[in-house]
Structure 1
Amino acid sequence: MATSTKLSDLEQVSQHIAKLQPEFGKIIEAIRQIILSTNTEIGERIKWNNPSFYYTGEMKPFNPKEYKREIIVLNLHKNRIMLVFPSGAKINDISGFLEGDYSDGRRLVIFKDMADVKSKEQSLRNIINQWLALVDR
């Protein structure tokens, strides 16, 4: 009888990216590495059928439906690269990096290609650090 071993979150994300069209996957991997290297308390997993990134540290208790742990969820529909910040509205983004004005508090960042990723890297890191500074520990 074969035993099935569940893939780790990291393995699941890697496998998900590996299934993408190669050039698209390289862009996603670059974004992934930027996010993960911004802070050691950022973890990754597959959530809502795409890679997502969340705060792994201690937090005060909260209702899971508030998604307070979720930093970024990727939306990779039809080879479009959209980073969704479920609680992005709480960040005071005066740079205009975060797009949208959704009543549920979401904000978005859209990447077109690798050059776009490179040009927006520091802004992405800044927004993530601002988000982490607001965590209710």
Structure 2
Amino acid sequence: MSSKKTEKIKLTDSELVDRHIHNLDPALAETVETIRQIMLGADKQVGEHIKWNNPCFYYTGEMQPFDPKEYKREIAVFNLFKGRIMLVFPSGAKVNDTTGLLEGDYNDGRRTIIFSDLADVAMKKNALECIIQE
């Protein structure tokens, strides 16, 4: 008997995000995918991967050296616990949010945006794009 090695196919970061969203409840998946497209379309230097067990968006461009504990490269991560659609901005307090969309006053500097459905995403789209570009 010959033993063949099973080749593992390594998925790209975007393929892993696709798979994650595909495994969500269909109504939730549609809203998450819409937010995903807004995030990726807001700036060409926004990338995506899975981090903290959810889709996460990060800055792909050049940056000055920084303490990795500050999460400066990470822009936002989904929190989809119990079907809630929340974007968490780990360094949101440092964003000059003139839209008023970012919520929360956490000691660690994070801020959040909560979305209820596709209509809510559509209403917040322009403000979200401004925050990402900031």
Instruction: Give the structure-2-normalised TM-score.
Output: 0.94
Residue pairs, 1:7-26, within 5 angstroms: 7-26=11-30
Give the corresponding residue for 1:88.
92
Residues 6-54 of structure 1 deviation map (CA, whole Å, 9 limit, x = unaligned): 2110000000000000111000000000000011100000000000000
Superposed, 1:59-70 pairs within 5 Å as 59-70=63-74
Map of 1:5 onto structure 2:
9
In structure 1, give the amino acid aligned to 2:13.
Answer: D
Q: Distance in 1 between matches of 2:50 and 2:93?
A: 23
Partners of 2:67 and 2:89 in 1: CA distance: 18
- Separation in structure 1 between the aligned mates of residue 68 and residue 96 of structure 2, nearest angstrom: 24
How many positions carry a matched residue from both structures? Answer: 130
Counting aligned pairs with the same residue, the percent is: 59
The RMSD of aligned alpha carbons is: 0.8
SS in 2 for 1:82: strand
Unaligned runs of 5+ in 2: none
| Match of residue 135 from structure 1 | none
Alignment-mate amino acid for residue 63 of structure 1: D
In 1, Cα distance between equivalents of 2:131 and 2:56: 16
How far apart, in 1, do the equivalents of 2:11 and 2:111 lie?
Answer: 30
Shift >6 Å, 4+ stretches:
none
Q: Where does the alignment leave 5 or more consecutive residues of structure 1 unmatched?
A: 131-137
> Within 2, Cα distance between the matches of 1:78 and 1:85?
19
Query: Tell me, what secondary structure is at the counterpart of 2:107?
Result: coil
In 2: Cα distance, 1:95 partner to 1:117 partner: 14
1:28 maps to: 32
Give the letter aligned to residue 11 of structure 2.
L
1:95 CA drift (Å) = 2.9
